[in-house]
Amino acid sequence: MTQPAGVAPPIAAFFATIGFAALAICGFGFTSLLTDTDVIAAPGLGQGAGIVAMLLSAVAFAGTEYGAVRRARFPSAGWVMIATVAAYLAGIVFGGVVTGADVALSVSAAGEFSLSWYALVLAVTSAVAAWAGIALRRTRARRPEWPWEHEEEDE
């Protein structure tokens, strides 16, 4: 099987990861605005859990996206999505425990997050960004050219 002639896998994975983080943060903000709720609504958990969760999910996205981009198969975006959501949930628990919250509170917050609109937003943004990274790798597009750039070759 020949490799696609698109963008190099590390570059495509990098751009997809940056896009994922931007989309997820923007999506969380708009979801919070529309539902008038907090992303992680557990009193006593603090902001550390959300920060750790987002960082861990971005790292998981980057690692799995690199593998998906190297394979250049669109169904791999589903695995990237699953790994990213799982990493976010693990990040809530780990971040909560590291910042001094009770383990039960951290697990409860992760469970509450998994049943919220925010989990759907995270899943959709990771799937869309993963698909875009794979598409970037598979593209055979070249730089744009004006019609007159190759006039001398046509003669």
Instruction: Domain ranges for the chain, please list them.
Output: 9-139
**Tens-digit pLDDT profile for residues 44-75:** 888 899 999 999 999 999 999 999 999 888 89
Q: Reply yes or no on whether the pLDDT at 39 is more than 90.
A: yes
Q: Reply yes or no on whether the pLDDT at 154 is more than 60.
A: no
The mean per-residue pLDDT over the stretch 92-120 comes to: 93
Instruction: Quote the pLDDT of residue 106.
Output: 93
Which 8-state DSSP code applies to residue 139?
-
Tokens 């409860």 belong to residue: 108
Q: Reply yes or no on whether the pLDDT at 1 is more than 70.
A: no
Tokens of 7: 């963008």
Average pLDDT of the chain? 90
Rounded CA gap, 88 and 122, in Å?
Answer: 9
Q: Reply yes or no on whether the pLDDT at 142 is more than 60.
A: yes
The pTM assigned to this predicted structure is: 0.86
Rounded CA gap, 110 and 88, in Å?
Answer: 8
Rounded CA gap, 80 and 10, in Å?
Answer: 15
